[in-house]
Structure 1
Amino acid sequence: MYRIILVDDESMSRKSLDKILTSAHSQYQIVGEAANGAEALELIRLQQPHLIITDISMPIMDGIELIQRLRQDGYDGEIIILSGYGEFEYAQAALRHGVVDYLLKPLKEELVVELVGRLFARFANTRQKAMVKNQLLAPVISAAERISTALWAANAPVLSQETENLLKLLAHQELSYEERRTLLENAASLIQNQLGDRLLISPWEIPYDEPGYTTLESSFRDWLERKLAETRDKRNWGRRSATQQAMDYIKQHFSDSELSLEKVLEPLDISTTYFYHLLMEETGMSYIAYLTNVRMEHAKALLTDTSLKTYEVGQRCGYPDYSHFTKRFKRMIGLSPSEYRKRMQQ
């Protein structure tokens, strides 16, 4: 709803505006009326309207003082003023305080409807963009977490795939360059924070001097590639053969629904506690988290094969219980297996 407050010491004027607006659009909601600025001030603080339509000349507190007080209070909504033909100087003063427009009395219905309609359209567009952006926050956070996991594991193929998924997610939305940049900044900050305690890696330096989403994408990819190289270097990647052998075994036997850590370590002759410590250092994940990650990556690949039922994909990835597979997949990927398959087919 588009919340509106009417302020005018003439009750007939308020009634006329109320009738014009509520008849013009079902989304217009008159949430309050006041006969002067002092009454309006408390009402506005309580209702927080999107639009205020106020007369200039009123007793106790006129429209100019009301507007000044509202701006001092931090109200940043739209304000339209009503003025008579002899009050043009007052109207000019009001315009200097961020008033969006003014209407002359006696009011003409078509002008009222046209002006408020323009403001409502702008409000609706802004709200729609905000909704899209808010809806993207969770998928962006989830993608950033998966990128962090792949980066910590120095898994270049997964890192590349997850990076492209994130960039595609942002590129296909009706967002401005600035909004995409902000979301990508959020993702980079999350990646930085998640790895900050384990790796002292440099933050992403955004190329503000060359606006354009393609440039932004390239810069983000380059940053992650540098982070991958830093990760490999700082963690002496590949020098812990026991861990690598265990990880290879998991990748070869992930479809075994009974694959236990003890079974993985049996040929390596190392304790579970020691291996757990090595695996956490090597990948940043526990055994269960690493096994789940391997299974989900294979599940994603298998879901592109439409000849397989989704429950068959689960079975091939070590989840004979389809419900358990679906819950695991959605928790990690953000979509159910069926939803992911549809997304990949688009």
Structure 2
Amino acid sequence: MFKVLIADDEPKIRKGLKQWIDESPYRFEVVAEVKNGREALEYITKTSPELFLVDINMPMLNGLHFISQLNKISSNSIVVIITGYDNFEYAHKAIKLHVFDYLLKPVSKNEFDNLLKKIAEAFGTDKKEIITEKSTQYSCIVRSVKKYIDKHYTDSELDLSHISQLFNVNKSYISKLMKQEIGKSFIEYLTDIRLEKAKQILEDHHPRVTMYDVSTRVGYTSQHYFSRVFKKAYGISPLEYRNKYTFI
């Protein structure tokens, strides 16, 4: 049985999460419900939780400060942040604190069930039959890196070293994790995003838009390199691709 502590200042949220855990086919048991980080710290020695579901915005001691204290006490705890704050800074801090996942409120029951399933599969907590199909949910760090790439793909200086420094995570670890979870390494994912955006520009814009304009809009400083990468991916040059849509 996996012991769970829920830390959230909203009673309705605590009650809902406990109900979903009780209904889950996995072997999780809520051993404590608290309304702030200070109370959560008190229950660590009383109930020895292994999984912590933590809100960020709580009185007395907020979620991030609590997790920081928890890491000093127990390095083996599994922490999931459940918050209403879609904030890059918070997600960045969560990654540095090595949280298992970062869910945004409102959380659906299906999303929460997927979370429990992923934890059960990762840590072997389920004594019943474990569903083996790959979870569609990404880890906190992969989801955050994907989100950052999707927003900053036009930055010509965006590379794995930049991401590594930004998220304070080893370069090879990020790329390996992305390969495992989404089937693409960092550079493969970034290239796919840039080329898909380039295709949209080529399909939608006036023929007078130059290939240099297209390449810079998707983060390439060299038109020739962009053309080479595009042709390798699609078998035709960007100019040939645009002509398909210009003269239909």
**What TM-score results when the alignment is normalised by the length of structure 2?**
0.48
- Structure number with the bigger relative contact order (C-alpha 8 A, sep ≥ 6) is 2
Indicate the structure with greater helix content: 1
Structure number with greater Rg is 1
**What TM-score results when the alignment is normalised by the length of structure 1?**
0.35
